[in-house]
Chains A and B, each alone.
Chain A
Amino acid sequence: MKTYYSPEDLSKFPTIGEGAPELWKKFSEWYGAVFAEGALTEREKALIALAVAHAVQCPYCIDAYTQTCLEKGSNKEQMTEAVHVAAAIRGGASLVHGIQMKNVIEKISM
């Protein structure tokens, strides 16, 4: 193994089911249902997935959902804004924990 991540591995994802076929079957059905058109469109769901992929920094998901977003009709501007949403939440999540820092300072300071 030369690297931890390899693009070819994405297509091997279903082989993870070999160890627990029933769980993989349930996951696959649930996953398919999650991304089907519902109260949100398939395009909206793909944009959410793209943003989350960046938040969790999964290269497989970024590859897959960049393609999916294009194939659902999103453009680069919309996709970039989705990535900014992910980045803003990550950045905001760090910053808002600064309140904990302040709370600790207040607690232990005279």
Chain B
Amino acid sequence: MQLKPFEKAIAESNLYPLTSTGISTLQVNVGRLCNQACRHCHVEAGPNRKEVMSKETMELCLDILRNSDISTVDITGGAPEMNPNFIWFVEECVKLGRYVMVRSNLTILTETGYEGIPEFFAENQVEVIASLPYYMEQNTDSQRGKGVFQKSVAALKKLNALGYGIEGCGLILNLVFNPGGAFLPPSQKALEADYKREMQKRYGISFNNLFTITNLPVGRFLAYLNSSGNFEMYMGKLVASYNPSAATNVMCRNILSVGWDGTLYDCDFNQMLGLSVNHGAPTHLKEFDLSSLSKRQIVTGIHCYGCTAGAGSSCGGATT
């Protein structure tokens, strides 16, 4: 199948070369260890993964925060809570006055040894971004594993009890939807209204915002596309749905992604594809140089169509 190169598409939108507009978020992937092994996971995270960020590498992240005005730290994984230095790292980021977001799979908050994490989040005013691919059990469990939905509901109830997702409490709880297959996400606004109504009606759960995220052809989702014979159809759909406005707003333009070993990437997807930052920008935390990284050219590929299709997709949901 011959697909139009992504670089050609952005060139037609006068966006080539795609460059950073400045780094406002340091997205730190603290490891691929996870208590789940979701079928769509681009990280291919799971209980047997050994790649876990060391305390020394976290120290390097903190040095960068100390010496820059990067305002937000977005901590992801795997299940970031499973990194042995997770608590310390969050506390240090907060001490530096940074806004901290943690991407939680929710079920980890119900596991032995992690029960105190929700209170820890609340004490440190951490924004929780939680995966919940649907408001119905069957759809969620089919993607994330049997029993995941009920555990997720239990964790969400605990977060609500602490004030998370409750209007006026100031503790932010955002949910993440991603399609359960080879199709694009619905309108974020319309689906958020469904989620809010159904989560409240069925489980008495509140949250702040829903982020709809497109599945990118990376990791386990790519393997699924190939094994199910959907790769060509899905890629054709992504390319046909290319949206220049979404391309203008892609998240890689204002984040920098850090891998578990300190390697620097334009985004978490490039990280999983082993595509470190390039075009002359330093590739490791040890060589960090804010001025060159802030105007670096982004490394792109055919997978980038996932962030520019339809209403666009980013770690913060739709981009248009």
**Using a CB–CB distance below 8 Å, which chain A residues touch chain B?**
11, 41-43, 67, 70-73, 75-77
Q: Does B294 contact A (CB under 8 A)?
A: no
Are A71's CB and B139's CB within 8 A? no
Q: Contact partner of A75 among B134, B183, B187, B190, CB < 8 A?
A: B134
Q: For the complex, is B219 an interface residue (Cβ under 8 Å from A)?
A: no
> 19 interchain pairs (CB within 8 A)?
A42-B187, A43-B186, A43-B190, A67-B183, A70-B181, A70-B186, A71-B179, A71-B184, A71-B185, A71-B186, A72-B186, A72-B190, A73-B187, A73-B190, A73-B191, A73-B194, A75-B139, A76-B139, A77-B136
Closest to B185 in A: A71
Size category of the binding interface on chain B: 10 to 19
Number of A-B contacts (CB under 8 A): 28
Select one of B136, B183, B187 contacting A70, CB under 8 A: B183
Q: A75-B134, A75-B136, A75-B139 are in contact. Are A70 and B179 (CB under 8 A)?
A: yes
- Closest B residue by C-beta to A11: B236
Starting from the known contacts A67-B183, A75-B134, A75-B136, 11 additional A-B residue pairs (CB-CB under 8 Å) come to A43-B190, A70-B179, A70-B183, A70-B186, A71-B186, A73-B187, A73-B190, A73-B191, A73-B194, A75-B139, A76-B139
Taking CB atoms, residues of chain B closer than 8 Å to A67 are 183
CA distance A72 to B191 in the complex (A): 8
Task: Output the nearest chain A residue to B180 by Cβ-Cβ distance.
Answer: A70
Alpha-carbon distance A70/B191, docked complex (angstroms) = 11
Closest to A41 in B: B190
Closest 9 A/B residue pairs (Cβ):
A73-B186, A73-B191, A70-B183, A71-B184, A71-B183, A72-B186, A67-B183, A73-B190, A71-B186
Q: How far is the CA of A41 from the CA of B193 in the complex (A)?
A: 13
Which residue on A lies nearest to B192, using beta carbons?
Answer: A73
Nearest to A74 among chain B residues (CB) is B186
Q: Give min CB distance, A25 to chain B, whole Å.
A: 19
